[in-house]
Structure 1
């Protein structure tokens, strides 16, 4: 059995700052959209841009809502566990998102989300437990998942509108690392080295473990290509054909293990 990777740690203060920074970048992009732009389709199962933006506000304010509820007795889910479990809850997430988008002004919704998050999340202890839809998580871990939501969907927003949404560097780095660790958890091993410079390097896939010199199986790509692969926005074959992805070695095809986040 391959050795278990040491869990990565995240600084809650830096994560909170990254969430706010990325949310502000989303707000800035959303402010440029008219009604036609908001009603445009996205690549997300029938959501319009309006629903996508509402979902991002919901993702951030969920921290506040969960802090208002009693803390569960014990931790059940880590960040990588969240990534693996999220797809099973797509139905309720879709329903809540559509209802929110239909009944709220998006500008006010985003402004309120930022204000409530900044006021509440800044004083919440990192080890406080939250009863999330996938199980009990620490605040510090759940904040990391908010970075992932914002970065992944900011890229969806860019794809849908043509309005480039910038990525906060800390939020982008956090997202890349979470998704790389999720792959290592899904396909544990040491036969393939995945490199996403400048943010992450992980070993994965069962087989002979590399210990010295140049690894025999190496996959390397840039942060956004990795995020699109890890979330199913881009296929392995298309990435090899058109994106900056290199894969060398007999075991370097990761397509059987992707996506890692639904």
Structure 2
């Protein structure tokens, strides 16, 4: 459970240290400001709480890798959930309220994860997973959004190295192929998920994997 706790704590700390001006800066999620991304993190934390409180009796249908639905198409600008997130974020008005809500719900999600039994089966999005697999899958979510949070904030801390390495391995499992050794963990995650375009040299190194990028995770 440590990778989940460590990556989630680092992301929440990064948000807590943001200035009011930082909330109005663009994030690494296309079309979203930092405030929109932080609002999305509140929703993510709620999802963690709901899932951990929703036990399942059936055989697991997914693990930390197959939990992810992968496409090559980024979400449409008119996606209803994305539009709702932007409206909710704007409704906070004062960034301090958004910080408080994330700290409140986020801390509860962290405690629930710490107290959960790893082998317990839970259900979310029509899938059944063990708690361990579910929380392991979320390390990738936290790390990618930490990169999104800091994309245009030069002074904000990057995700912890352990989270980057863990998430690179997770993305490689999802892709069914390893990224070249010349790629840093950060670059593998950014280029692999389409958060930045791979350079011509990187595309050459990627070989056949290049044709399958970006891996858009949902």
Give the TM-score band, short-chain normalised.
0.7 to 0.9
Matching residue of 1:247: 205
**Which ranges in structure 2 are unaligned for 5 or more consecutive residues?**
none
**1:135-154 deviation digits (Å, cap 9, x = unpaired):** 22221111112211111111
Cα root mean square deviation, aligned: 3.0
Quick one: which of 150, 160, 166 aligns to 1:168?
160
Q: Give yes or no for the alignment of 1:27 onto 2:12.
A: yes
Contact 1:84 1:260 in 2 (8 A): no
Greater length-normalized contact order (CA 8 Å, ≥ 6 residues apart):
2
The Cα of 1:131 is off from its aligned counterpart by 2.2
Contact 1:64 1:120 in 2 (8 A): yes
Question: Structure 1 residues 86, 121: CA separation in 2 closer, same or farther (over 3 Å shift)?
Answer: farther
Q: Give yes or no for the alignment of 1:136 onto 2:124.
A: no
The Cα of 1:76 is off from its aligned counterpart by 1.9
Quick one: which of 111, 122, 129 aligns to 1:119?
111
Contact 1:56 1:149 in 2 (8 A): no
Q: Give yes or no for the alignment of 1:260 onto 2:215.
A: yes
Contact 1:128 1:138 in 2 (8 A): yes
Quick one: which of 89, 93, 114 aligns to 1:101?
89
In structure 2, what is the Cα distance between the partners aligned to 1:87 and 1:129? 30
**1:145-191 deviation digits (Å, cap 9, x = unpaired):** 2211111111111113223323223322221111011111xx6xxxx
Question: Structure 1 residues 44, 165: CA separation in 2 closer, same or farther (over 3 Å shift)?
Answer: same
**Which ranges in structure 1 are unaligned for 5 or more consecutive residues?**
1-12, 188-192, 197-219
In structure 2, what is the Cα distance between the partners aligned to 1:52 and 1:21? 19
In structure 1, what is the Cα distance between the partners aligned to 2:110 and 2:28? 30
Rg larger for: 1
Count of residues paired in the alignment = 210
Output the TM-score relative to the length of structure 2: 0.79
The Cα of 1:223 is off from its aligned counterpart by 0.4
The Cα of 1:87 is off from its aligned counterpart by 8.0
Matching residue of 1:221: 183
Q: Give yes or no for the alignment of 1:56 onto 2:44.
A: no
Output the TM-score relative to the length of structure 1: 0.68
Contact 1:229 1:259 in 2 (8 A): yes
Contact 2:72 2:214 in 1 (8 A): no
The Cα of 1:228 is off from its aligned counterpart by 0.7
Structure 1 counterpart SS, 2:205: strand
Question: Structure 1 residues 94, 172: CA separation in 2 closer, same or farther (over 3 Å shift)?
Answer: same
Matching residue of 2:53: 68
